[in-house]
Structure 1
Amino acid sequence: MSRYTDLFARLSEAGEGAFVPFIMLGDPDPDTSFEIISTAIESGADALELGVPFSDPVADGPTIAESHLRALDAGATVDSALALIARIRRAYPDIPMGMLIYGNVPFTRGIDHFYEEFAAAGADSVLLPDVPVREGRPFAEAARRAGVDPIFIAPAQASEATLEGVAAASSGYIYAISRDGVTGTERASSTTGLSEVVDNIKRFGGAPILLGFGISSPRHVADAISAGAAGAITGSAITKIIASHCVGGHPDSSTIDDLEALKVELREFISSMKSATRG
């Protein structure tokens, strides 16, 4: 069984949904990033979605875009991200880890080599947010050869052909977005219509559905589970907590002013989000 299969089976038996935080690797530096990720796991995160810093993150809103830049300013590279993934895997051998990486990276490194090196580091899945399912076949095939689950996005207003393709091509889970647009809580968040989003995807079968984009409160998580999703992914709300603890409160700073205070706030937030998956 894959780590995802094991996770969803265990949570289903317990009557819970999954809470999955998104965290940028290397934000604001590798050691602090490891401490942040460790805190998230130990506070109840069921799985991780980890970003690999990139200079042109077109799917991300301002909050997460700033986290890319903080990590890059601190010297983050794909190789340093791989090293951090391996460090997390050694410390937490059972946690499912998904990667969010922009398509330039596999193109630059070579598609087969790219998936092989992320598999070797300990990644369970890879989502390329700027590669739609209609262009994703070579990526999905290379991922499966390497033992990595390919993840595709199911847009909120997608055509039946797109949803059918996403269901067929994704393994591990399907990333359903609660609304169109970029990531973030900069826009007003609403969970109205989530049941319709989930039901549209479920018609085509496939892997468990995780809802993301604009999920920023325990109520949003509870609504996602009530709508039939297997869990929820939260990114910008967590990234805002990290940014608020940068020196001087400046999100472009690559230094945390009080790591312990950050960990306390993060622990409280993640614990509350996880609690909301239990109904």
Structure 2
Amino acid sequence: MTRITTTFERLQAEGRSAFVTFVMAGDPDFDRSLEIVQGLPGAGADIIELGMPFTDPMADGPAIQLAGQRALEAGMTLDRTLELVRRFREGDSDTPIVLMGYYNPIYSKGVDRFLAEAGAAGVDGLIVVDLPPEEDEELCIPAQKAGLNFIRLATPTTDDRRLPRVLQNTSGFVYYVSITGITGSASANADAVAPEVARIRDASGLPVCVGFGIKTADSARDIASVADGAVVGSAIVSMVGDGKSTDEVLGFVRSLADGAHAA
């Protein structure tokens, strides 16, 4: 039982979907990033995805790429990302934290060392977008043994032949990418998403959260009405990039959370 599993069980009992936020660790700097992350649960976030800044974020659109650049320029590292999680845990022992990013920084640090430090810091799960199921021995299986959920992405091109391989070692929840392309590039459509969510949920037995293309309270509500969770990243990160205050960012998050929770 991880915080992720406990959270979904609680939300299911309450009859509502999860609202999941993505922010980049260290954007625009460590202190401001920590302030935003600390405020997310109070603004309605049920699960927090925390980006690990990387120099070559191939799956991300301009907003998240720029967020990563700002964080790196401000001195953010993988070690400081784990420190941010530790600082967050000083005041919040319940909200799940999922680190999301790319394998290179983890590989450079060393898988065993990373997993030990991530678990000790209070990380609950990982989304590593450039490790396919064929590479599960690299990180997925060691992460599961270390008590961390390994969350896999499914996409509109994941057909019935490929899906079992994608799901074979997935835990916590499945992240369904609602559109083809990079983050922030289009808008999610609930009618198109609904049958895919049902197909993946039936195949996995896990909650299915939908991300990419959710930018407004209305779209968060629409997606949450057909999924177990709605994920918003680029729209939040863009507000940070535009220089909005922490209160403004969290106010926007609250409006999205209200939409998702109204489904």
TM-score normalised by length of structure 2 = 0.94
Contact kept in structure 1, 2:178 and 2:188, CA below 8 Å = no
Quick one: percent identity of the two aligned structures? 36
Contact kept in structure 2, 1:167 and 1:206, CA below 8 Å = no
> Once superposed, which parts of structure 1, at least 4 consecutive aligned residues long, lie more than 6 Å away?
none
Counterpart in the other structure of 1:196:
195
Q: Does 1:212 align with 2:211?
A: yes
Q: Which residue among 227, 246, 252 is the counterpart of 1:263?
A: 246
The Cα shift of 1:58 comes to 0.6
User: Counterparts of 1:206 and 1:217 in 2: how far apart (Å)?
Assistant: 29
The amino acid that maps onto 2:238 is: K
User: Counterparts of 1:264 and 1:85 in 2: how far apart (Å)?
Assistant: 21
The Cα shift of 1:87 comes to 0.6
The Cα shift of 1:8 comes to 0.8
Counterpart in the other structure of 1:148:
148
**TM-superposition CA deviations, 1:128-159 (whole Å, max 9, x none):** 01112232243221101211111111112212
Q: Does 1:181 align with 2:165?
A: no
User: Counterparts of 2:107 and 2:7 in 1: how far apart (Å)?
Assistant: 31
5+ residue gaps, structure 1, are: 246-260
TM-score normalised by length of structure 1 = 0.89
User: Counterparts of 1:241 and 1:7 in 2: how far apart (Å)?
Assistant: 27
**TM-superposition CA deviations, 1:196-224 (whole Å, max 9, x none):** 22122123123211101111112222222
Counterpart in the other structure of 1:257:
none
5+ residue gaps, structure 2, are: none
The Cα shift of 1:267 comes to 2.5
User: Counterparts of 1:152 and 1:109 in 2: how far apart (Å)?
Assistant: 22
Aligned length: 262
The Cα shift of 1:166 comes to 2.7
The amino acid that maps onto 1:116 is: A
Q: Map 1:1-279 onto structure 2 (within 5 A).
A: 1-184=1-184, 186-227=185-226, 229-245=227-243, 262-276=245-259, 277-279=261-263
Contact kept in structure 2, 1:189 and 1:214, CA below 8 Å = yes
